[in-house]
Amino acid sequence: MADKTEAKKRIAELSEKLHYYNYKYYQESISEISDYEFDMLLKELITLEEEFPEFKSPDSPSQRVGGTVTKQFDTVVHKIPMLSLGNTYSKEELEDFDKRVAKGLDEPYEYFCELKFDGVAISLHYERGSLVRAVTRGDGTKGDDITNNAKTIRSIPLKIRGDNFPDYFEARGEVFLPREVFNEINRERESEEKALLANPRNAASGTLKMQDSAVVAKRKLDCYLYSYTGEDLPINSHEEGIKQLEQFGFNVSQTYRKCENIEEVFAFINEWEKKKLALPLDIDGIVIKVNSIPQQEQLGFTAKSPRWAISYKYKAESATTVLNEITYQVGRTGAVTPVANLRPVLLAGTTVKRASLHNANEIARLDLRVGDTVHVEKGGEIIPKITAVDLTKREVGSEAVDYITECPECGTPLVRTEGEAVHYCPNVKGCPPQIKGTISHFAQRKAADIDSIGERTIHLLYEKGLVRNIADLYDLTYEDIYELEGFKDLSTKNLLQGIEESKKIPFENILFGLGIRFVGKTVAEKLAEYFKNIDNLAAANYEQLIEVPEIGERIAQSVVDYFKDLENIDLIERLKRAGLQMEIVEKQQVKVGNALEGKSLVVSGVFHHFGREEIKEVIKQHGGKVVSAISGKVDILVAGENMGPAKKDKAEKLGVSIISEEEFQSMIEQN
């Protein structure tokens, strides 16, 4: 692009776009475009700015770390800036990097390679061996003080191991959400019908900026450290820093490798491209660092990143194909999901024919039309998605998608609640996929656990008219099942056995299995524990329901609505008669010690070594009783981080003894 005016215009355009995506990404933890698309826009900007330096502004996205500090936390100025990393998706550019290093040093050097963990950067400050502060990267020069949130991460040591440490140092690394935990959170959110979290990185970033550390603690974040930083530290190489972090007791991922030359780096890259799916967390590439610290100093920094390091990013695999048709799926709750039916295309080793489109907004955002040529991408996720439309290939006369107005399965007009993205079929009790979905929801492992009944069997039972709701399962006879296609004596007996076994399943699981809207597994447990049996729960009114800890308005209303429906009451009567568990069985307490015998305790705040429920359990195991409110009858208040001052005042006034988590631990360890 030689034209000056055009270049100026494009630079302004790119800068504005990148500022916007940065804002979304760092402030709201939302990715509106893929990282690859973002990086390509940034690359275009850098190239243009090199050609036309007169248009490069000091606050260009090419010159600064993308984040900022927020108002909700105290601001901390970094003693040593926290920078970004240059990145590339191409091996040629990596070779160019190696050439620049060779030229800049003019002596032998080696690399230290690490995985590029896809999370959020953090700096942990240690004074005389104790954690005093945890800070986000922010804009690179100053970040947010998120110490309380970081302390909920159990692998971060509050005190480091050994006694040979500098007065002050920083351990820098990446906070992340393990993929398993992420999936678990989303399964839970799905059953509560909350919007799903987009990916583990954005979820980790959103979590770290939450105001309530107790909620953060539940999210089970983890952290890998990869940099030992400070002034005049007694180390000569990055490798020595890593070893030092390990000795201090930090969580260092055992995936790094020292490489003698760029060929070994390439081997490392290729190896992890295959192995990365087996890791407990997502990585988006490899970080290559010059190992020697004096050499790092010699190479120095640009405004935004070190010259002695670079990240090689794995490109999410993508392909181009044609959108043949949009079909619509109806789920258990009646939610309608549009599905893109594609001309089959090979992507990341599998043939892709379909991609999820989420909802009507997504179709509008992509401005998708039947017949369009589209880009599909498969990142860490299993289900491919459409990332963009190739407008140059759009056929003339193509028309915007007319979203369906009636349920494709039962013909009922769809509804869309104000402010919600999703359309629903309201015919809960008559819409086939909703009925079948309700039954498979009930049969799942976390609910009634009838593993001998799969989707296919449910379909057959439905088609034969044998099952219209979950209570019908308990009326099934040997003959009913034996006559189903594919069933023999043994499989029939197995299915009946599975149904019989479900009568022993605890009440809280059955309650979850009923599929009351917004009542996920955790909520069902809370309700069961509080109301003890189904009759109490059915009799509870809205006010009583929102009294229950962690039960919000939406859930309370949904429970009230459920039990108002006489068909549901009838269903529950039938389940009771069939012999299902409709009340909780109090757990037998395992006795571990008697240090707290006869004492009443209140727990408050966030704990480092225990989860909230866990500490209550431990108290009971040692003979203590857990109560929820401070009163004159309480003996001990176990105070975690971030305990409310009002609670503390009250406890002091009433003469309740207040102990720390550490004191609590030594109390119970004494016997």
Residues of this chain that interact with ligand NAD (CB under 6 A) are 21-22, 24-25, 31-35, 38-39, 65-66, 84-85, 87, 114, 116-117, 121, 137, 174, 226, 287, 311
We find the least distance from the C-beta atom of residue 477 to ligand NAD, in angstroms, to be 56
Q: Name the residue nearer to Zn ion (CB basis): 412 or 600.
A: 412
Out of Zn ion, ligand NAD, none, what residue 33 binds, judged by CB under 5 to 8 A for its kind, is ligand NAD
Smallest CA-to-CA distance from 565 within 395, 411, 429, 670 is with 429
Listed in sequence order, the DSSP H helices in 235-284 are: 238-248, 262-275
CB 81 within 8 A of CB 140: yes
Out of Zn ion, ligand NAD, none, what residue 282 binds, judged by CB under 5 to 8 A for its kind, is none
DSSP 317-366: EEEEEEEEEEEEEE-TTSBEEEEEEEEEEEETTEEEEEEE--SHHHHHHH
Listed in sequence order, the DSSP H helices in 579-635 are: 612-621
For β-strands 283-290 and 385-389, DSSP reports them as unpaired
Cα separation, 435 vs 458, whole angstroms: 10
Out of Zn ion, ligand NAD, none, what residue 438 binds, judged by CB under 5 to 8 A for its kind, is none
Q: Name the residue nearer to Zn ion (CB basis): 412 or 642.
A: 412
We find the least distance from the C-beta atom of residue 149 to ligand NAD, in angstroms, to be 16
We find the least distance from the C-beta atom of residue 46 to ligand NAD, in angstroms, to be 12
**Identity of residue 261:** N
Active site residue 79: no
We find the least distance from the C-beta atom of residue 84 to ligand NAD, in angstroms, to be 3
We find the least distance from the C-beta atom of residue 434 to Zn ion, in angstroms, to be 6
We find the least distance from the C-beta atom of residue 11 to ligand NAD, in angstroms, to be 18
Q: Name the residue nearer to Zn ion (CB basis): 406 or 573.
A: 406
Out of Zn ion, ligand NAD, none, what residue 578 binds, judged by CB under 5 to 8 A for its kind, is none
CB 408 within 8 A of CB 434: no
Strand ordering across the sheet containing 600-604: 625-626, 600-604, 636-639, 657-660
**Residue 289 is labelled as binding a ligand:** yes
* 32-36: long-range contacts, CB 8 A cutoff, minimum separation 24: 33/387, 34/316, 34/377, 34/379, 34/387, 35/284, 35/313, 35/316, 36/89, 36/313, 36/315, 36/316
We find the least distance from the C-beta atom of residue 196 to ligand NAD, in angstroms, to be 17
**Residue 431 is labelled as binding a ligand:** yes
We find the least distance from the C-beta atom of residue 200 to ligand NAD, in angstroms, to be 13
Smallest CA-to-CA distance from 379 within 40, 62, 113, 31 is with 31
Look at the alpha carbons of 42, 176, 182, 66 in this order and tell me if their dihedral is positive or negative: negative
Exactly one of 24, 99, 116, 620 is catalytic; which is it?
Answer: 116
Number of H helices, E strands in the chain: 24, 20
**Residue 503 is labelled as binding a ligand:** no
Q: Name the residue nearer to ligand NAD (CB basis): 220 or 289.
A: 289
Q: Name the residue nearer to Zn ion (CB basis): 407 or 448.
A: 407
Cα separation, 352 vs 345, whole angstroms: 5
**Residue 137 is labelled as binding a ligand:** yes
**Residue 529 is labelled as binding a ligand:** no
Which residues form the interface with Zn ion (CB under 5 A)? 407, 409-410, 412, 425, 427, 431
Strand ordering across the sheet containing 222-229: 130-136, 120-127, 168-176, 222-229
We find the least distance from the C-beta atom of residue 567 to Zn ion, in angstroms, to be 17
**Residue 17 is labelled as binding a ligand:** no
**Residue 259 is labelled as binding a ligand:** no
CB 320 within 8 A of CB 390: yes
Q: Say which residues have a Cβ less than 8 Å from residue 615's Cβ, sequence separation at least 6.
A: 603, 607, 638, 664
Q: How many CB atoms lie within 10 A of CB 536?
A: 14
Q: Is 241 exposed, middle or buried (0-12, 13-18, 19+ CB in 10 A)?
A: buried
Cα separation, 172 vs 81, whole angstroms: 11
CA distances from 613 to 170, 338, 586 (A): 32, 40, 16
**Residue 36 is labelled as binding a ligand:** yes
Q: Name the residue nearer to ligand NAD (CB basis): 291 or 604.
A: 291
Q: Name the residue nearer to ligand NAD (CB basis): 155 or 657.
A: 155
Q: Name the residue nearer to ligand NAD (CB basis): 19 or 517.
A: 19
Q: Name the residue nearer to ligand NAD (CB basis): 287 or 368.
A: 287
**Residue 440 is labelled as binding a ligand:** no
Out of Zn ion, ligand NAD, none, what residue 427 binds, judged by CB under 5 to 8 A for its kind, is Zn ion
**Residue 245 is labelled as binding a ligand:** no
**Residue 39 is labelled as binding a ligand:** yes
Task: Classify 507 as helix, strand or coil.
Answer: helix
Out of ligand NAD, Zn ion, none, what residue 425 binds, judged by CB under 5 to 8 A for its kind, is Zn ion
Radius of gyration, alpha carbons of the chain: 29
Cα 95 to chain center, whole Å? 35
Out of ligand NAD, Zn ion, none, what residue 496 binds, judged by CB under 5 to 8 A for its kind, is none
Out of ligand NAD, Zn ion, none, what residue 253 binds, judged by CB under 5 to 8 A for its kind, is none
Token pair 């475009």 in the structure block, residue:
33
> Dmax over Cα atoms in the chain, in whole Å?
84
Cα separation, 116 vs 599, whole angstroms: 49
Out of ligand NAD, Zn ion, none, what residue 537 binds, judged by CB under 5 to 8 A for its kind, is none
Cα separation, 598 vs 491, whole angstroms: 53
Annotated binding site: 35-39, 84-85, 114, 137, 174, 289, 313, 407, 410, 425, 431
Provide the annotated active-site residues: 116
Binding-site residue numbers for NAD(+) are: 35-39, 84-85, 114, 137, 174, 289, 313
- Residues annotated as binding site for Zn(2+)? 407, 410, 425, 431
